[in-house]
Amino acid sequence: MSGCPLPLHVVSSTFCGHDEAVRASEVRWLTTLNQPARNALIGGTFRSFPDHPPGRGEPTPLPDLATADPVFRTQRTRYERGQQVADTMPDRILRDSGLVDVAREAADRHRQHAALAPTTGYAPTTCGGPQRTDRIYVTPGLRDAVRSVEVVDTVHEDDDAAATRTVSPHALLLVRLDRAQMEHALTPGHRAVPTATRSPS
């Protein structure tokens, strides 16, 4: 951001769709952005699924592998203890490294549960059902800047050309960040921004 001494690293990517080991390697590289004096915003289609640890409250169940196409099932799963399971490893790696899933943050901190809506998987129907495969993560210093996350997913409304599903099988993710908190994170030594002065940008 202009005038801030530290840069903001922005990553947008489509991750490997056919090999869980490659996906894991790709996201491990992204953890190099989560280091002191580094701030990053990382988004993309991760071709994998958010983890569902107990008590986390992820509303969308993992894909129904029994109804999924065999090729899709092979490409989007991994073997754990001899069983084929949905691949949640990229999300686990990123969160274990300290990166923050902005949709999860919006739901937990701001009660914006719609932020956890599926972003793809409505068609074809052989993908095991809708899933939140498109996600955005930020480094911990940007956590306080997250104000809202919106999944824009429209279907043949009044203006068919404006329907997101006519453009892409992936929904649009709209993230709003607080400018004052962003400037604070990118300027070492600044005092914390009081809640009352925060204004979304």
User: Mean pLDDT, 10 residues at a time, over the chain (201 residues)?
Assistant: 87 94 97 92 95 82 89 93 94 96 95 93 77 96 96 70 72 93 86 47 42
Q: Which residues, other chains included, contact 181 with Cβ-Cβ below 8 Å and sequence gap of 6+?
A: 142, 144, 145, 193, 198
Report the pLDDT value the prediction gives residue 148, as an integer from 0 to 100: 96
Residue 46 to residues 22, 43, 97, 150, Cα–Cα distance (Å): 11, 8, 16, 18
Report the pLDDT value the prediction gives residue 84, as an integer from 0 to 100: 93
Element (H, E) at 147: strand 146-152
Report the pLDDT value the prediction gives residue 53, as an integer from 0 to 100: 81
Domains of the chain, by residue range, sit at 8-197
Report the pLDDT value the prediction gives residue 198, as an integer from 0 to 100: 42
pTM above 0.85, yes or no: yes
Report the pLDDT value the prediction gives residue 161, as an integer from 0 to 100: 54
Report the pLDDT value the prediction gives residue 196, as an integer from 0 to 100: 38
Residue 201 to residues 67, 181, 192, 198, Cα–Cα distance (Å): 43, 10, 18, 10
Which CATH code is given to the segment(s) 8-197?
Answer: 3.60.10
